[in-house]
Chain A
Amino acid sequence: MKRYITTFSKIMKFVIIVLIVDVIFGIVSNHLFFLQKTGKYARANLVIYETEAEVLIFGSSHAHRHYVPEVLEKQLNTTAYNAGAEGQQLLYHLALQKMVLKRKKPNLFILNIDEDFLYSSDIAYDRLNDLHPHYSEYGDDLRPIFKLKSEFVDVEMFFKSYLLNSTIVHILRYYISPQLDYKGYRPLNGTVTNDHITSKLMEVNDQVKEIDENFVLALKEFINNSKSNNVDLVFVISPTLRNINSNNKSLGMINEIADKEEVPILNFLDDKNFKDKLDWFHDPSHLNDTGAKYFTKLVSERIIKEKLNN
């Protein structure tokens, strides 16, 4: 019996040392994380803890690169911030929206819709890691979303090291070389080439993709959160040079949900203003700065029109 007790006490000693190391390094990492001034984490921190903007834009890289807050501010005579995040999908936007609404109720949310928003994707779950550092502050809001990824979320989030997983390189990188943005918007320069137009980047293969029910529920929750907090919501589908299938299941379902919930959709997929305007595109699916400014202006005008109609 004695040797079992010895082993047990050794294991406990080791566990305590692990926890001490985790807390010490965790405090340092946490401090560094929230000190960031630029980069994707800094932008998310600003959205969650600071911004007072009345218009918030959510979405993936298409949101991040297509909406110029200064143009929106001028057109709509308000304040705006671009909360778009590259590579992120609906679960992330929902989580971010929930955290924002805890502190501030803006006038308008713009959700930029991607054609694959509802298609199943492991990456959409994996990239929720970017919001782990906020778990200690917003655990109640984030838990149901993180639970979709792991049943053991409370155990995982107990460790500071796990909360701040993989953040150090970003912290150091943007400390050494700050990443400029304009109220969350980062312009893309250069124009699309003919090589791009003929490359695989033009293909959108959605034949074998399945709808993920969690993403459908996330979209519905995003709408409900906006409604229950009296925040106007607009869906926008950005222009693209890529060949989007007209029978795209994901877009079809988003249209149905928007119709049912009476959320206006501004669809620029086949907008004639962007047809063959290669000079406005950085690559087949992203606008460059010139294109983004024009697009934001069009979106603003359409929003004003929508408001007048209502």
Chain B
Amino acid sequence: MYFNSFDFLIFLPIVFVAYWLFEKRKIRFQNVILLIASYVFYGWWDWRFLSLIGLSTLVDYFVGIRISLCDTDKLKKRWLLVSIFFNLGVLSFFKYCHFFIDSWVDLCNSIGYDIKDVTTLNIILPVGISFYTFQTMSYTIDVYRDKLKPTKDFISFAAFVSFFPQLVAGPIERATHLLPQFLKERKYSKESISYGIKLIIWGFFLKLVLADRTAIYVNSVYNNVEYHDGLSLIFATILFAFQIYGDFAGYSLIAIGTAKLFGFDLMTNFRRPYFSGSIHEFWNRWHISLSTWFRDYLYIPLGGNRVGRYRWFFNLFITFLISGLWHGAKWTFVIWGAINGIYLIIEILCNGKKRKGILNIISTFCFISFAWIFFRANSVNDAFYIINKIFTEPGKLYIGSGDDIAASLYAVLAIFLLVIIEFKREYLQNITIINFFTKKEIGRMFMYATLIYLILYLGVFGHSQFIYFQF
């Protein structure tokens, strides 16, 4: 089920009412409701993949208990490896099987071995598999590290694994943060509910107005790169930077807001990343739940920065390379990850981790946008073709005709609104511009009602889905 669907608009109030009806009873009832709701939510796409989540839940639940019962580190480690092999095995099979086979065939062909017919399975990628496998792995790893006691409450654990607001595109929660929330009583708080609704509305604005409007121009250029000049490719790349932000930050806000309706706190996933003065700062503000996951479970175990200089750079690079691969089974994502790793290494060499000022913000945005070319391009060849054209054939800016122009104007308008709002949050937090809209309840309601109007008036209501669902 998509957040931006009528199904969800009907589903959410039903679950909300059912959930709080059981507030006075045991929290177990609420967890059962969340579990059923989450399985319905996920099964709406393809019920067959529910078995995969169910299996993942069972494996990690029992592995967690087994680890806590082990006397020796060696045994603990064995059980941990069971979990890691299972989760990464499932992920590799569904997500990377084709990629590795195709890459192998390409490699053989390039060195002279002519391989034509390769039998591959017709594998469908289950939605959100990268997110929930990482989340459940964090559980077994934290149990192994004695950061968390394994739960014996299977329902709570299953609800934690499949919690529908963040099941398919994060934020990737740490078990130490989210699981305890399933084990304690959730208080009904109208402030929390009100805040959740605000986040949901702003999230929908980012998705339906900002991301989906910019997508129209971006897709028309990136899907026909041979027809466009450098200037159009630059403009499309800048728009894509905002598209992916609107799309993913929008999803995260809807997820966090929805969780708030049920009394849960999810971690912040984005903190105005395009106001970063350095690449280092950008990665502290962009997709925070994934960045910190890789930091805690890959970068630090590799030795982090407490090793020799070259080993430190290697650790950084490999972490970003794997992060790129996590995003998708395509070489474009791997290169995107590698570019970001190289950026960080260069930045360390130049002592530029803590830079501020408008010029640094602009240059960081340019570097990040350059890397987005690989993220968005349909192939590695396309990406290099785009870069070549940007630097050699600036040409004319494509503005399209009719509906294309309108879509671009709405996109620019939405970006303008986003920049104003984020600028205020970044630099003018304590300044109230118009009291009526912030201090008075009726004023706040009017403001959010206007935002809903803008969503319905300017949003795109088609067949779009969230970009990160494919990961």
Instruction: For the complex, give the distance between the alpha carbons of A252 and B402 in Å.
Output: 32
* Interface segment out of the listed A102-110, A134-142, A168-176, A227-235: A168-176
A168 touches B403 (CB 8 A): no
- Give Cα A21–Cα B448 distance, bound, in whole angstroms: 10
Q: Which residue of A lies closest to B224 (CB)?
A: A200
**Residue of A7, A14, A25, A152 with most chain B CB atoms under a 10 A cut-off:** A14
In Å, the complex CA distance between A150 and B457 comes to: 17
Report which of A22, A151, A169 forms a contact with B405, defined as CB distance below 8 A: A169
> Is B6 engaged at the interface, CB distance under 8 Å to the other chain?
yes
Chain A residues whose C-beta falls within 8 Å of the C-beta of B226 in the assembled complex: 200
Give residues of chain B (206-253) contacting chain A, Cβ–Cβ below 8 Å: 226
**B457/A29 in contact, CB under 8 A:** yes
Cβ distance A126 to chain B, nearest Cβ, rounded Å: 5
Contact call A21/B403, Cβ cutoff below 8 A: no
Known: A17-B446, A18-B449, A155-B6. A3 touches B190 (CB 8 A): yes
Given A40-B402, A166-B458, check contact A6 B190 (CB 8 Å): yes
B55 at the interface (CB under 8 A from A): no
Residues of B within 8 A of A13 (CB): 445
A147: interface (CB < 8 Å) = no
Docked Cα-Cα span, A29 to B454, in Å, equals 12
- Chain A residues with CB below 8 A from B197, complex form: 14
Bound state CA distance, A6 and B194, in angstroms? 12
- Is A164 a contact of B457 with CB atoms below 8 Å? yes
Q: Give bound CA distance, A177 to B457, whole Å.
A: 23
Q: Which stretch of B148-156, B354-362, B459-467 is in the interface? A: B459-467
Whether B450 pairs with A21 at a CB distance below 8 angstroms is yes
Q: How large is the interface on B (under 10, 10 to 19, 20 to 34, 35 or more residues)?
A: 20 to 34
**Interface residues in B401-438 (C-beta closer than 8 Å to A):** 402-403, 405-407, 409-410
Q: In the bound complex, what is the Cα–Cα distance between A156 and B208 (angstroms)?
A: 15
Contact B457 A3 (CB under 8 A): no
Query: Which residues of chain B come closer than 8 Å to A74, judged between CB atoms?
Result: none
Q: Identify A162's interface contact among B190, B442, B456, CB under 8 A.
A: B456
- What is the bound-complex CA distance between A3 and B192, given in angstroms? 13
Dominant secondary structure at the B interface: helix
How many of A's residues come within 8 Å of B, CB to CB? 36
Q: Is A205 on the interface with B (CB-CB < 8 A)? A: no
Q: How many pairs of A and B residues are in contact by the CB < 8 Å rule?
A: 76
Contact between B406 and A122 (Cβ–Cβ < 8 Å)? no
- Give Cα distance in the complex from A138 to B406, angstroms: 26
Q: How far is the CB of A19 from chain B (nearest CB, A)?
A: 8
Q: Is B45 an interface residue (CB 8 A)?
A: no
Chain A nearest CB from B25 CB (Å) reads 15
Q: Which of A21, A151, A156, A168 has the most CB of B within 10 A?
A: A21
Please determine whether B402 and A86 come into contact, CB atoms closer than 8 angstroms: yes
Chain A facing B: main interface SS: helix
Q: List the B residue with the shortest CB-CB distance to A40.
A: B402
B22 surroundings in chain A (CB, below 8 A): none
Chain A residues 1 to 59 lying within 8 A of chain B, measured CB to CB, are 3-4, 6-7, 10, 13-14, 17-18, 20-22, 25, 29, 40
B453 at the interface (CB under 8 A from A): yes
Chain B residues within 8 Å of A40, by CB: 402
User: Taking the complex as formed, is A165 at the interface, i.e. its CB lies under 8 A from any CB of chain B?
Assistant: yes
In the bound complex, CA of A156 to CA of B410 (Å): 21
Return B9 CB to nearest CB of chain A, in Å.
8
- Known A-B contacts A21-B450, A161-B456, A166-B410; the reply to A7 vs B190 at CB < 8 A is yes
Is residue A294 contacting chain B, with contact meaning CB distance below 8 A?
A: no
**Chain A's nearest CB lies how many Å from the CB of B318?**
40
* Max chain A C-beta neighbours (<10 A), residue from B20, B409, B450, B452: B452
A152 touches B6 (CB 8 A): yes
Q: Contact at A169–B446, with CB atoms within 8 Å?
A: no
Distance A156 CA – B5 CA, assembled complex (angstroms): 11
On chain B, the residues within 8 Å of A268 by CB distance are: none
CA distance A83 to B175 in the complex (A): 60
Instruction: Digitize A114-128: 1 where CB-to-B-CB distance is under 8 Å, 0 elsewhere.
Output: 000000001000100
Chain A residues with CB under 8 Å of B384's CB are none
Most chain A beta-carbon neighbours within 10 Å: one of B406, B446, B449: B449
Q: What are the residues of chain B within 8 A of A161 when measuring CB–CB?
A: 453, 456-457
| Residue contact B463 to A165, C-beta cutoff 8 Å | no
Known contacts A17-B446, A200-B226, then 18 further A-B pairs from the complex at CB < 8 Å, ordered by chain A residue = A3-B188, A3-B190, A4-B188, A7-B193, A10-B190, A13-B445, A14-B197, A14-B445, A18-B453, A21-B452, A40-B402, A126-B462, A150-B6, A166-B407, A166-B410, A169-B405, A169-B406, A169-B410
Query: Interface of B with A (CB < 8 Å)?
Result: 6, 20, 188, 190, 193-194, 197, 226, 402-403, 405-407, 409-410, 442, 445-446, 448-450, 452-453, 456-459, 461-463
